[in-house]
Amino acid sequence: MTENKGKVISINGNLVSVEFEGNVSMNEICFVLVDGVALKSEVIRIKGKVAQIQVYEMTGGIKCGDEVEFTGEMLSAQLGPGLLGQVYDGLQNPLPVLAEKAGWFLERGNYADGLDSEKKWQFTPTAKVGDILRAGDYFGTVPEGAFTHKIFLPFGMLSKYTIKSIAEAGEYTVKETVAVVTDERGREFSLTMCFNWPVKRAIRCYSERLAPKETMETKVRLIDSFFPVAKGGTYCTPGPFGAGKTVLQHTTSKYADVDIVIIAACGERAGEVVETITEFPELIDPKTGRSLMERTIIICNTSSMPVASREASVYTSVTLAEYYRQMGLNVLLLADSTSRWAQALREMSGRLEEIPGEEAFPAYLESYIAAFYERAGYVRLNDGSFGSVTIGGTVSPAGGNFEEPVTQATLKVVGAFHGLSRERSDARKYPAIDPLISWSKYNCVIDSKKSDFLKGVLLFSDEIGSMMKVVGEEGTSVTDYVGYLKGDMLDSVYLQQNSFDLIEANCGTNRQRYVTDKLVTVLGSEYSLNDKDKARTFFNSMRQRFIDWNYTEFESAEFKKAEAEIDSLYKEGNGSISKQAEILLKGGEQ
Amino acid sequence: MNKVFNRIESIVGSVITVKALGVKYNELAEITTRFGKSLASVNKIDGDTVSLQVFAGGQGVSTGDEVRFLGSEMQVSFSDDLLGRIFNGSGEPRDNGPALTDNLKPIGGPSVNPTKRILANRMLRTNIPMIDMFNTLVVSQKLPIFSISGEPYNQLLARIAMQAEADVILLGGMGLKYDDFLYFKDTLAAGGALSKTVMFIHTASDPTVECMMIPDMTLAVAEQFALQNKDVLVLLTDMTNFADAMKEIAITGEQVPSNRGYPGDLYSQLAARYEKAVDFADSGSVTVLAVTTMPGDDVTHPVPDNTGYITEGQYYLKGGRIEPFGSLSRLKQNVNGKTRKDHRALMDSMIRIYSAFKEAVEKKNMGFAMSRWDEKLLKYGELFENKLMDLSVNLSLEQALDLGWEILAECFDRDETGIKSDLIEEFWPVK
């Protein structure tokens, strides 16, 4: 805390102008003192001796002349062991601690440390006296749940440091000194197990950033097989209300093949956060055998919480994600919803009386969104290991119209687009990702040629479907009609997936490969079906058998039995496989 | 220490400015004009220039009128004395009862700590089959009733107010027609529900600023009752008027509009109100039902659109009925597995068959021949619409389920409904 102080000279909503004396930096944190309560705020504009600050709380009761204390520091997240399993607000205050202090409501000016300063952690040094450290290097570890939490030289220490002393293995709190280092000029620094990092700055203490290649399994067939997401990649899920954005993210947060999941509930319903908090501790993570909550961090700034900290919550979440990436872990950040974050920017921009861009969003909207998604990435760390941050953001376009600025700005920077459609959700086809508009630049878990072949089946079927709306079933040839039925079947047995059934929802890569091979065979075959009624009956029963198959455990006896049912029906229909499908199944060789 | 000023610098719309020092943001003031007294609240301070939003509007305010600052923010009196009373947006009595000034509580307070909420899991019975059976209302849910002007949404609200299993009913009326206000008053009085009801009413002829206060006043009182372990049902009508009042004031205040003239914070403003719906761990609850009229039946209009993103589903009122297709209660899964074991299966099948009926009607209208199956569907559709969908139907959930089975049995054979065999065995009516 600096001695720098100022006085309030005007108030407009949560925008307050302050006259100050010494030096004030942009994005510096300050506190407005009102009726004995200090309200956290951030400097967002400086003109002469007047700083304009956004207050992260409700501003009622502030008057001209009220004192403001500047801290000299930017909005920071506290990084160290003990982040996993926490439920934070947008400013990294642990909500259960706030509830203990203030009861039912989020009273303003009530803050708490992000990390528990009492708890002891089992520290094991991994470096010795005389070792040289650079930013991003670690000198010890503590066990945190299923993970080995590395203790780093703070990322902001930018020169070369020599370890002068280091604590022995044993139990320490995050605030106790565990090492002393000296820099090249001989100045000493005491290191603890935690440090602060300004949330609006990306953590770049790695050796190299690489292109994302490896697919991140989400266990959602439609995503993994057709519109995949890579570890270290980015994707967005825009959709109108009720299309199932949140359910889809909820499923992803449970089943995604990553080490750590960070859920940023940004400006959404409190009830959904309550659902996660209630449900996750009861669920078991198949990878570690521990509760799902132990790999999860929830940052929630729900819609009725102050708007300015909604903006901060997005940055706090991505900072925590980057921190765990430094440990060689794969982290998934799910932001729901980035539109609410953009609206927070819009509200502030309006108060600052900036010239508005499209739909009154500020002109810098695009660059802010781009900068946020660019904090994802797959990196090689100083010790040679790899880590990733994957970002998935939902977008809530006004009126479900994807032409609006937030969706468009997001589409420019992400690697995959999962567009949810009202049409599909109304028809109860979940997940309601529209296969005809979605795309991905990453590698899918199945052979990409097979993926393209199946997409072709869908596309053809859609064309016939729209044609049939005009000419009717009567005017369609049997061959075309069969093409239509094939796409329809693919949609119901593979694209649609019941996220509430444990087996069905958790469809791994091997199973996806196995099932798509079967689908290539069935959909890539000709049948002796000479009229439409026969064709419809055949594909209806084929569909039913595939659905039954989906609900059996992979490679179990029932699975094989259900598969045999499909094979026997295939024989009954005199299926003969086409040349194209045969080549595909042989792996592209003639 | 109340400071009095009698030099008003400017009057624009309902906003006046005075030169004053030591005034707090959001502080309340009382302005005395030739038409009487009105409250006003500070909405901007720039040095010694203080802007105030006058609740009664700027009409007739003179530059020489007296402004007295009260030192506190807007508050509402809370006690059991509120029950049965009617107030306006400034908290003054609209009935002939005494003004209440004890135990003042702030309005528009902070939001509930999410870790102090519990998962919504109790059904709120209304005895309206389209709600109880098909889109169950859950305690602490926030649901809008999307409706076109002219639909009987206020009648629906009044019925819910009378029949719902709630300890306290809060009614917030915004831009209400005077007739509708009287209708609510008379219906609740006749139904004997007035004694557990508190009303905050702004009618269409009252000042716009007061319209904006209604949800906050209503919800602040609701929250207080909930903290006394009461299950509170809040009925708001009509939130589109609330949004329009916000629009009017934002535009007069020269705010940059974002979408069709609405201010950029429309989502946050609506959310701040709807999120007051809560089920407190170890205490009572607040459930919110709010009418949102859709201009031109357009669900993409900013008000219904933003509302849809905030609320947990919606009831879609069309043609005097709650439409089964557009309507959705996102929380119904939390409760409808625990009511009666045939509830979910019957709900799904009846809706599925009803959608087949709609297709049959379309076929019929296009002049195609009707099969025997189509005839059955047409009969079913008619029975379903008259016996269950009609808004005047008043049945408990169990009666409605029984009736559902009867309708099915009247139209179909046992194996035509697609319901699991063991349920058919148990519930199919024997003739």
Mean pLDDT, rounded, of chain B: 92
Task: Closest CB to B308: pick one of A102, A107, A242.
Answer: A242
The C-alpha of A20 sits at a distance from chain B's nearest C-alpha, in angstroms, of 15
The C-alpha of A156 sits at a distance from chain B's nearest C-alpha, in angstroms, of 33
- pLDDT bin (cut points 50, 70, 90) of residue B356 is confident
Q: What CATH number corresponds to the domain at position A160?
A: 2.40.50.100
Q: What is the pTM of this model?
A: 0.93
Express as a percent the part of chain B with pLDDT over 90. 72
What pLDDT, on the 0 to 100 scale, is given for residue A426? 78
A52: enclosing H helix or E strand: strand A50-55
Given a cut of 90, whether residue B348 has pLDDT beyond it is no
What pLDDT, on the 0 to 100 scale, is given for residue A566? 94
The CATH-assigned architecture of domain B4-73 is Beta Barrel (2.40)
Task: Closest CB to B118: pick one of A106, A274, A350.
Answer: A274
Q: Are A424 and A459 found together in one domain? A: no
Q: Is the Cβ–Cβ distance between B280 and A381 less than 8 Å?
A: no
Contacts of B28 in chain A (CB under 8 A): none
The C-alpha of B98 sits at a distance from chain A's nearest C-alpha, in angstroms, of 29
Distance CA(A100)–CA(B71), nearest Å, equals 31
Q: Is the Cβ–Cβ distance between B115 and A99 less than 8 Å?
A: yes
Rounded average pLDDT over B338-364: 88
Rounded average pLDDT over A576-587: 90
- pLDDT bin (cut points 50, 70, 90) of residue A529 is confident
What pLDDT, on the 0 to 100 scale, is given for residue A588? 62
In a domain, A354, yes or no: no
What pLDDT, on the 0 to 100 scale, is given for residue B357? 92
Given a cut of 80, whether residue A1 has pLDDT beyond it is no
Q: Are A496 and A404 found together in one domain? A: no
In a domain, A257, yes or no: yes
Q: Are A430 and A485 found together in one domain? A: no
Q: What tokens does A238 get?
A: 């825009």
Which of B:316-335 have CB within 8 Å of A? 325, 328, 331
Range of the domain at A56: 5-74
**How many CB contacts within 8 angstroms connect chain A with chain B?**
162
> Nearest residue of B to residue A12 by CA position?
B44
What pLDDT, on the 0 to 100 scale, is given for residue B364? 86
| CB within 8 Å: A302 and B118 | no
> Nearest residue of A to residue B20 by CA position?
A64
Given a cut of 60, whether residue B74 has pLDDT beyond it is yes
What pLDDT, on the 0 to 100 scale, is given for residue A589? 53
What pLDDT, on the 0 to 100 scale, is given for residue A42? 94
Task: Closest CB to A99: pick one of B113, B257, B258.
Answer: B113
What pLDDT, on the 0 to 100 scale, is given for residue A519? 96
Amino acid at position A57, single letter: E
**Residue of B27, B45, B216 for testing the chain A interface, max A β-carbons within 10 Å:** B45
| CB within 8 Å: B259 and A302 | no
Contacts of B19 in chain A (CB under 8 A): none
Given a cut of 80, whether residue A362 has pLDDT beyond it is yes
What pLDDT, on the 0 to 100 scale, is given for residue A499? 82
Q: Is the Cβ–Cβ distance between B264 and A350 less than 8 Å?
A: yes
| CB within 8 Å: A359 and B47 | no
- pLDDT bin (cut points 50, 70, 90) of residue B422 is confident
The C-alpha of A23 sits at a distance from chain B's nearest C-alpha, in angstroms, of 22
Model confidence over B261-285: pLDDT tens digits? 999 889 999 999 999 999 998 899 9
| CB within 8 Å: A346 and B325 | no
In a domain, A346, yes or no: no
Task: Closest CB to A360: pick one of B27, B47, B264.
Answer: B264
Given a cut of 90, whether residue B113 has pLDDT beyond it is yes
SS (H, E, C) chain B: CCCEECCEEEEECCEEEEECCCCECCCEEEEEECCEEEEEEEEEEECCEEEEEECCCCCCCCCCCEEEECCCCCEEECCHHHCCCEECCCCCECCCCCCCCCCEEECCCCCECHHHECCCCCECCCCCHHHHHHCCCECCCEEEEEECCCCCHHHHHHHHHHHCCCCEEEEEEEEECHHHHHHHHHHHHHCCCHHHEEEEEEECCCCHHHHHHHHHHHHHHHHHHHHCCCEEEEEEECHHHHHHHHHHHHHHCCCCEEECCEECCHHHHHHHHHCCCEEECCCCEEEEEEEEECHHHCCCCHHHHHHHHHCCEEEEEECCEECCCCCEECCHHHHCCCCCCCHHHHHHHHHHHHHHHHHHHHHHHCCCCCCHHHHHHHHHHHHHHHHHHECCCCCCHHHHHHHHHHHHHHHCCHHHCCCCHHHHHHHCCCC
The C-alpha of A275 sits at a distance from chain B's nearest C-alpha, in angstroms, of 6
| CB within 8 Å: A270 and B117 | yes
Just give the CATH number of B76-330.
3.40.50.12240
In a domain, A198, yes or no: no
Task: Closest CB to A270: pick one of B268, B275, B305.
Answer: B275
Which of A440, A464, A498 is the endpoint of a domain?
A440
Q: Are A70 and A83 found together in one domain? A: no
Domain ranges of chain B: 4-73, 76-330, 343-427
> Nearest residue of A to residue B23 by CA position?
A63
Rounded average pLDDT over B327-338: 89
Model confidence over A493-522: pLDDT tens digits? 999 998 878 888 889 999 999 999 999 999
Residue B70, chain A, CB below 8 Å: the answer is no
What is the total count of domains within chain A? 4
Q: Are A377 and A240 found together in one domain? A: yes
Model confidence over A328-339: pLDDT tens digits? 999 999 999 899
In a domain, A16, yes or no: yes
What pLDDT, on the 0 to 100 scale, is given for residue A106? 93
Given a cut of 60, whether residue A199 has pLDDT beyond it is yes
Task: Closest CB to A104: pick one of B23, B113, B275.
Answer: B113
Residue B99, chain A, CB below 8 Å: the answer is no
Model confidence over A37-50: pLDDT tens digits? 999 999 999 999 99
Q: What tokens does B143 get?
A: 């649901």
Q: Is the Cβ–Cβ distance between B142 and B310 less than 8 Å?
A: yes
Which of A396, A419, A440 is the endpoint of a domain?
A440
- pLDDT bin (cut points 50, 70, 90) of residue B366 is confident
Contacts of A448 (CB under 8 A, 6+ apart): none
The C-alpha of B191 sits at a distance from chain A's nearest C-alpha, in angstroms, of 33
- pLDDT bin (cut points 50, 70, 90) of residue B152 is very high
| CB within 8 Å: A95 and B271 | no
Q: Are A99 and A165 found together in one domain? A: no
Model confidence over A376-398: pLDDT tens digits? 999 999 999 999 999 999 999 98
Model confidence over A68-120: pLDDT tens digits? 999 999 999 999 999 999 999 999 999 999 999 999 999 999 999 999 999 99
At A403, phi and psi to the nearest 5? -75, -5
**Which candidate, B210, B224, B161, B213, places its Cα nearest to that of B190?**
B161
| CB within 8 Å: A267 and B328 | no
The C-alpha of A13 sits at a distance from chain B's nearest C-alpha, in angstroms, of 7
Rounded average pLDDT over B161-181: 94
What pLDDT, on the 0 to 100 scale, is given for residue B419? 81
| CB within 8 Å: A398 and B255 | no
Given a cut of 60, whether residue A590 has pLDDT beyond it is no
Task: Closest CB to B116: pick one of A104, A240, A305.
Answer: A104
The C-alpha of B95 sits at a distance from chain A's nearest C-alpha, in angstroms, of 31
Q: Is the Cβ–Cβ distance between B176 and B185 less than 8 Å?
A: no
Residue B428, chain A, CB below 8 Å: the answer is no
In a domain, A345, yes or no: no
**Residue of B23, B27, B53, B113 for testing the chain A interface, max A β-carbons within 10 Å:** B113
What pLDDT, on the 0 to 100 scale, is given for residue B431? 67
Which of A168, A193, A218 is the endpoint of a domain?
A193
B378 pairs with which residues across the strands? none
Contacts of A274 in chain B (CB under 8 A): 114, 117-119
Q: What CATH number corresponds to the domain at position A27?
A: 2.40.30.20
| CB within 8 Å: B111 and A11 | no
Q: What is the bridge-based pairing of β-strands B75-77 and B49-54?
A: unpaired
Model confidence over B378-396: pLDDT tens digits? 999 999 999 999 988 999 9
Rounded average pLDDT over B85-108: 93
Q: Are A241 and A184 found together in one domain? A: no
In a domain, A500, yes or no: yes
Q: Are A316 and A248 found together in one domain? A: yes
